[in-house]
Structure 1
Amino acid sequence: MKKYLFTIALSMMSLTAFAQADYEKIMSDKITKLETTMSVDQFQALANDFDRIGKKETKQWLPSYYAALAYLQKGRMQMQSGKMSELSVNANAADKYLDQAEAIAGKDNSEIHLLRKMAYSLRMMENPAERYMTDGMKAMEELKKAETLDPNNPRVALIKAEDTYFTPEQYGGSKEKGLQQFKEALEKFKTFKPKTALDPNWGKAEAEYFLSGAAK
């Protein structure tokens, strides 16, 4: 009887290990695509993929995190092409997934607060004149929380650099100041090590893009 129970235990351990390996492979493939895609439709498809993974892996916060990131990147791409009417829709979708991620990971997560900052900023950009004092202020609060929780988070430095780069000089920003901050972000990327292979590690290519002068 003991031998039988031991065999069952080993079988369950093997199945668990297999499921974990399968989860990590699927997530790794989707994350790679998320970091390289340049299509609104592909971002939406990836958001749907991460949603399905999250519904299956209910104890993992990263699928919801990446679903939120996919919606934010989709919105940012739409903003770049002048399609402003859908920004709030994407920001709201991201917030839903960030709530799910936070329910699992906890409230003291720098990466989640940074995406909340991005969501508020995206929502603000739909109507900056009306929303700066609401969504704009909340975005600054979330950025501060993200930086306080992890001062060495290179994505925090990246988003700060981005804000400075696109803010007119009369409001305290400039391209020159932004580029200096992109350099500082890149230095943080060089020493940053994610906790696991699936943890957030995006943003280095964006810093390099701005520093290469391609953004002009």
Structure 2
Amino acid sequence: MKTLVSIATALSITLFATAQNPKYISAMEKNIAILDTARSTAQLQSLANNFERIASGEKKEWLPNYYAAYCYATLSLNFKGDEIDTYCDKADAFINKADSINPSNSEIYAVKAKIAAARINVNPMTRGQKYGAQSTVLRDKAKALDPANPRPWLLEGQSKFYTPTAFGGGKTKAKPAFEKALTLFETFKPTSSIHPRWGKNETTYFLKKCDE
């Protein structure tokens, strides 16, 4: 009982401290709003820079580091070969900072899984087994930490969607994971205006692709 009270007290203090910093909240909200539709290299790099600046000024907050990592992981998809690793390395550095501030967080493990999956693209034939297995372990950890989080299911669907049918992937294998993600998105409520909410649009997009 004392442990539960201590956790609740710590959470209240954290939320109160965050609420007392409207400039931080405003800066985060502004960049997150842009992130929802950002796809170009220039947009994602600009957002990554912005979140990095916020992180440098808010050293006790995990979310700026989380979003910087997410931006770099997504940005890596715009490149080929060894350049992918360059951006994934940056993503890993930021997500590890987020993890050190807020360990055992489902959202953080989902981004770790996203980064590992992105590394496969350097050379799918030689990297698929190693980084595919790493991504699966991280994804499963994200599910275990928060069964209501839809993002690990989206990532599972994407992994199966892009895996050749000969290796156990394909649209038919991917669809149940996307359906599970969409079901969870219907009831998912972000903790605050700056907590992770990405993925629903991607889920509906891939579900349509599965039916084509």
Mark yes or no: TM-score above 0.5.
Answer: yes
Report the equivalent of 1:157. 153
| C-alpha contact 1:209 1:215 (8 A) present in aligned 2 | no
Of residues 108, 113, 125, the one that matches 1:112 is 108
Structure 2 residue 30 is matched with structure 1 residue 29: yes
Q: TM-score, normalised to structure 1's length?
A: 0.84
How many residue pairs get aligned? The number is 196
For residue 198 of structure 1, give the secondary structure of its aligned residue in structure 2: coil
Report the equivalent of 1:60. 61
Deviates more, 1:121-130 or 1:147-156: 121-130
Q: How does 1:68-147 map to 2 (within 5 A)?
A: 68-78=69-79, 83-106=80-103, 108-147=104-143
Report the equivalent of 1:181. 177
| C-alpha contact 2:76 2:88 (8 A) present in aligned 1 | yes
The residue identity in structure 2 corresponding to 1:104 is I
| C-alpha contact 2:171 2:210 (8 A) present in aligned 1 | no
With over 3 angstroms needed to count, the CA separation of the structure-2 counterparts of 1:144 and 1:52, relative to structure 1, is same
Q: CA deviation at 1:52?
A: 0.3
Deviations, residues 144-185 of structure 1 (Å, cap 9, x unaligned): 111111122100111111111111222112212323321221
Q: CA deviation at 1:205?
A: 0.6
Q: Distance in 2 between matches of 1:162 and 1:39?
A: 20
Q: Distance in 2 between matches of 1:156 and 1:147?
A: 6
The share of aligned pairs that are identical, in percent, is: 36
Q: Distance in 2 between matches of 1:18 and 1:109?
A: 21
Structure 2 residue 195 is matched with structure 1 residue 199: yes
Q: Distance in 1 between matches of 2:145 and 2:180?
A: 18
Q: Distance in 2 between matches of 1:164 and 1:17?
A: 38
Structure 1 outlier segments of 4+, above 6 Å = 16-19
Report the equivalent of 2:13. none
Q: CA deviation at 1:31?
A: 0.6
Q: TM-score, normalised to structure 2's length?
A: 0.85
Give structure 1 stretches of 5+ with no counterpart: 1-15
For residue 61 of structure 2, give the secondary structure of its aligned residue in structure 1: coil
**Larger Rg, first or second structure (1 or 2):** 1
Over the aligned positions, Cα root-mean-square deviation in angstroms equals 2.0
Report the equivalent of 1:12. none
Q: Distance in 1 between matches of 2:153 and 2:19?
A: 37
Give structure 2 stretches of 5+ with no counterpart: 1-16
